[in-house]
Amino acid sequence: MRKKDYSDKVFEVILKLSAAISLSIVILLVLVLIKHSFLSIKTFKLRFFINTVWDPVFEKFGALPFIYGTLLTSFLALVISVPISISIALFLSEFAERKLKEFLSVVITLLAAIPSVIYGLWGIFVLAPIMRNYVGPILQKFFGFLPFFQGNIYGLDYLSASVVLSIMITPTISSISKELFDAVPKNLKEAALALGATKYEMIKISVLKTTKVGIIAAILLGLGRAIGETMAVTMIIGNIPNISLSLFSSGATLASVIANEFAEATEDLYLSSLYYIGLVLFLVTLILNIISKFLIKHLSKTK
């Protein structure tokens, strides 16, 4: 019994130490970002969040174009990816045969394992020409009266970046959703069918309604991946600090501007502003996580 008590205490200490290390890393990260961005914080204060000018030559820095680009591409990626991801998960869980299910599951896993730079190269050499020569003109032909589809089409823009992001986050959302659907008790599905429900009604009532909280959590994980993605977006978005309603316009994100300009930032204010961008990215991610926690908690209570 003494040996068992000793082992339990050691195990408890290890767990507490692990939690403390995780918290310490986050605090240290915040302190480092604040320390290195203090000059920019002192110079621009909250104007940094609403200023639209990013001009290192004249030392004018504003993060709004990058915040806009990050939120726009992430939102569009979710709009494209979520229906496809849920459909894939439902097909694998409810319709696919065992061999096909195993094969497609491996394919989805491989998509998640592909390095982001490969997605970026594919976006430049394959997706961008398709968007420029085919998809863009078609969208402009039918929806050109909307401000979202106006302007010149170059292929390196918000829309192309969003498509690449949607492909990158689809494995995350679909894999988690599939596990959720597989975990739904078989008796619950059979009960709905026994009461006369169709396959569609059974999925709607027994599967989707039961797992809605988990699906939202999966979507938020995909959103976190989209917001923090750097290399693929940097290669395909055009990297121009621009705010435009047109999806055919080039832009930039919080992560892409750091990747593009950190190595060439020699002035103190320039470098501090990039650290400030990193702090903004951290805050955006933190706020979205807090919102997601409250949303999941609320849905869990009303379920």
pTM confidence score: 0.88
* Residue 148 DSSP label: G
The stretch 44-66 carries a mean pLDDT of 90
* Band of residue 214 on the pLDDT scale cut at 50, 70, 90: confident
Q: Is residue 114 pLDDT above 60, yes or no?
A: yes
Q: What is the pLDDT of residues 122-157, one digit of tens each?
A: 999 999 999 999 999 999 999 989 999 998 999 899
Per-residue model confidence (pLDDT) at position 41 = 92
User: Is residue 76 over pLDDT 90?
Assistant: yes
Q: How many residues does the chain have?
A: 303
Question: How many angstroms separate the CA atoms of 279 and 264, rounded?
Answer: 19
Helix axes 212-228, 268-302, angle to 10 degrees: 170
Average pLDDT over residues 39-54: 90
Mean pLDDT of 20-44: 92
Residues 51, 60 contacting (CB under 8 angstroms): yes
Residue 118: predicted pLDDT = 93
Q: Which two tokens stand for residue 16?
A: 């507490």
Architecture of domain 65-302: Orthogonal Bundle (1.10)
Instruction: Compute CA 247 distance to the chain's CA centroid, rounded to the nearest angstrom.
Output: 18
pLDDT beyond 80 at 292: no
Which has the minimum average pLDDT: 82-96, 126-140, 216-230? 216-230
pLDDT > 90: percent of the chain = 47
Average pLDDT, the chain: 88
Q: Are 215 and 298 in contact (CB under 8 A)?
A: no
Q: Is the dihedral of CA 29, 31, 35, 38 positive or negative?
A: positive
Biggest CA–CA distance in the chain, Å, is 78
CA distance 159 to 74: 11
Distance between CA atoms of 264 and 198, rounded to whole angstroms?
61
Is 34 within 8 Å of 279 (Cβ atoms)? yes
Locate tokens 């679909």: which residue?
Answer: 174
Per-residue HEC secondary structure of 213-268 comes to: HHHHHHHHHHHHHHHHCCHHHHHHCECCCCCCCCCCCCECCHHHHHHHHCCCCCCH
**DSSP conformation class of 58:** T
pLDDT value of residue 220: 86
